[in-house]
Chains A and B, each alone.
Chain A
Amino acid sequence: MRALEYPFDSEYILKKKKALKKDLLLQNITFLQKRIAILGGSTTNDIKLVLELFLLNYGIQPIFYESEYNQFWQDATFENNELDAFHPDIIFIHTTNRNIINYPKLTDDQEQITNLLENEYEKFETMWNTLRDKYNCPIIQNNFDYPFYRLLGNKDSTDIHGKTNYIMKLNLKFAAYAETHETFFINDINYQSAQMGLEKWADPFYWYMYKYALSYSAIPELSFNVANIIKAIYGKNKKSLILDLDNTLWGGIVGEDGVENLVLGQETAEGQAYMAFQEYLKEHSKMGIILNINSKNDEENALAGLKHPNSVLNPDDFVVIKANWQPKSNNIIEIYEQLNLSAESLVFVDDNPAERAIINQNVPVVSTPEMVSPDKYMQIIDRSGFFEVIGLSTDDLNKNEMYKENIKRDKMMSSFANYDEYLKSLEMKATIQAFIPLYMSRIAQLTNKSNQFNLTTKRYTQSEIENVAADDKYLTLYGDLEDIFGSNGVVSLIIGNIAGKKLNIDLWIMSCRVLKRDMEKAMMDTLVHKCQKSGIIEIYGYYYPTPKNGMVKDFYELQGFTKVSADESGNTTWKYVIKKQYKDKNKFIKVEE
């Protein structure tokens, strides 16, 4: 809904929130229902109501628990039957600098201030740990906005007695916790308030009158940011940018003006803006966002433009390049079909309102931000929160490292005459065990990301994963693999449901980055051992073909299963009878079960 996309009109949203909610509920979609607990350190009523709007707009229907006024800490740390019964999927802790109890006194020495800081911080950390232990769900925690006044003036940020300095240190400690806890997310109100300006962000009028820690008009901004984190947690981020060329990636029309006359480069102000935008897009591709072209041009001209000496983006940076004269809506459909992505996961970037209108009409679920002038392009994409990152630390950032490690492995491989020797030299160690709480989010993420080595392509949310893990009718295994070059993290999963003496495998997946390392054999061995322990004698495997999982068509056969049945769409069922004397297949990985 346009009213809820950046740049939105906060006044309008606040005033019309009842009507907006009605309209959102009329959408013909199946909402994902999520239970969200808001633990507030100040009034949260309208934050909740506006958050609901943004979430509904993302296809998520929230059910809320809201703590009583300023009861966040009590609600979290003491026995709380109501919250227990609520079973939150997400906990959002809305605290601000109004909730900092002790600030340094001017007479305090360094040591006293360090202790004060530790105490203030520990109160929060204790609360987070308690919540994690009890509810085992993602936690979203505000960091702190800067204080409204600066007793020490500019020195407030550098002197240890300054409130600004104190808040900076607290924020760093919050960030450090977030860095080491996968399902803990900071809602960066420090940045949001800076972006708005502190005076707009926190008008004390609303604190004195209504105990709102932020201005009433700042609520949509805050709620939007929280909604972005939540939708990212549930895999509703955008995945791909579909880019126009003329007047989007460069100034001018390549087909008419010629490559040499395009506005792109350091020579002109506009040329700089287009270049900066291209750099910004290139950074996205490094983050794993897929770039494509959708342009009304002859392909020859489009490619010539991308080979402009100042072009940051080159033809190689794009996965699909559609440069032709058919309607752009047709191109978009062909692009997402080719990439096997959903239309919802696309952002269409075009300076021409008429082209955007065509997309809105024909493929309305594609996002079409209003690109008005090149100096604002970046801002519009950035503030829209399309690609809110939640797992960069565990997966994407490591990607570069992992690729580097892979290069090292490849080098090493070529130094060995035979593959077995290479595998031996890797000194691989694996942990293969039933799902444990620490990995639930990674496990859920993996079930949503794996397409190729995936026998059934069944997707799970984190709470479904947790339910399966807690249910003794299911057998679960995760595999974590490391070698002399480093850890690969959790790379393989099996979920099976137990029916008497039979096990049906609902899910078997493995990350492609550990192909040909015998990890699948190690998983099979452990699976059999666990079955033997629980008296299971037959394992049934299922293969459901998709356009992407052809590589595992014969997987069960290779593991020694026999085919029981096959239907006309290529679905196959496999059976494995466990013998008393099972001989382990894996020879190179030291497994801890």
Chain B
Amino acid sequence: MTKEQIYQDLDEIFQDVFDDESIHVTEATIAADIEDWDSLEHINLVVAIENHFKIKFNMSEVTSMKNVGEMVAIIMERKA
């Protein structure tokens, strides 16, 4: 799976979860960039990503992810 594909898929997941089709994420996207992205929606987002890519983040990963770039790095590592 290429990085590009992952970003494409992530766009769709973010759009579903936040119900906003204008969302496009980049490496640098952080929670503060998206209006509804609070700690409660974070769970929903993480679970949707896990389900989509059929992976599991571990506890330290979920707590330490700083931006979408770090999230993508973990996904790529799992899918490799």
| Residues in A lying within 8 Å of B, measured CB to CB | 11, 14-19, 22, 45-46, 205-206, 208-210, 212, 216-217
Contact = CB atoms under 8 A, between A and B. Distances in A.
A46 B48 contact: no
Contact of A11 (B43, B48, B59): B48
A98 to B, nearest CB: 17
B13 A216 contact: no
Given A11-B51, A15-B51, 17 more contacts: A11-B48, A14-B44, A15-B13, A15-B44, A16-B19, A18-B18, A18-B19, A19-B19, A22-B19, A46-B44, A208-B59, A209-B63, A210-B43, A212-B43, A216-B43, A216-B44, A216-B47
Interface in B24-74: 40, 43-44, 47-48, 51, 59, 62-63
Nearest to B42: A210
A46 B59 CA distance: 20
A46 B40 contact: yes
Given A205-B59, A209-B59, A209-B62, A15 B16 contact: yes
A191 B18 CA distance: 33
A208 B47 CA distance: 15
Nearest to B47: A216
A210 B44 CA distance: 11
A11 B63 CA distance: 22
13 contacts: A11-B47, A15-B44, A15-B48, A18-B17, A18-B18, A19-B16, A46-B44, A206-B43, A208-B59, A209-B59, A216-B43, A216-B44, A216-B47
A454 to B, nearest CB: 46
Contacts of B13: 15
A347 to B, nearest CB: 31
A17 B47 CA distance: 13
A24 to B, nearest CB: 13
Given A205-B59, A208-B59, A209-B59, A14 B47 contact: yes
Contacts of B63: 209
Q: Is the interface of A mostly helix, strand, loop or mixed?
A: helix
Contacts of A205: 59
A217 B44 CA distance: 10
Contacts of A46: 40, 43-44
Nearest to B16: A15
Interface of B: 13, 16-19, 40, 43-44, 47-48, 51, 59, 62-63
Nearest to B43: A210
A42 to B, nearest CB: 13
B47 A217 contact: yes
A216 B41 CA distance: 12
B16 to A, nearest CB: 5
A397 B13 CA distance: 49
A200 to B, nearest CB: 14
A22 B19 CA distance: 10
Contacts of B43: 46, 206, 209-210, 212, 216
A210 B51 CA distance: 18
A402 B43 CA distance: 52
A504 to B, nearest CB: 50
Given A19-B16, A205-B59, A209-B59, A14 B40 contact: no
Contacts of A209: 43, 59, 62-63
A11 B13 CA distance: 12
B48 A14 contact: yes
Contacts of B47: 11, 14, 216-217
A274 to B, nearest CB: 37
Contacts of A217: 47
Contacts of A210: 43
Which has the most chain A C-beta neighbours within 10 Å: B16, B17, B43?
B43
A212 B47 CA distance: 13
Contacts of B18: 18
B57 to A, nearest CB: 9
Contact of A16 (B16, B51, B59, B62): B16
B37 to A, nearest CB: 13
B14 to A, nearest CB: 11
A15 B51 CA distance: 10
Contacts of B48: 11, 14-15
A45 B44 CA distance: 11
A218 B31 CA distance: 26
Nearest to B39: A210
Nearest to A210: B43
Contacts of A212: 43
A266 to B, nearest CB: 43
A212 B48 CA distance: 16
Contacts of A18: 17-19
A216 B17 CA distance: 15
Nearest to B45: A15
Contacts of B19: 16, 18-19, 22
B12 to A, nearest CB: 10
A142 to B, nearest CB: 20
A128 B58 CA distance: 39
Nearest to B38: A45
B24 to A, nearest CB: 18
A217 B51 CA distance: 10
A484 B42 CA distance: 64
Which has the most chain B C-beta neighbours within 10 Å: A16, A206, A209?
A209
Contacts of A45: 40
Contacts of B40: 45-46
A29 to B, nearest CB: 22
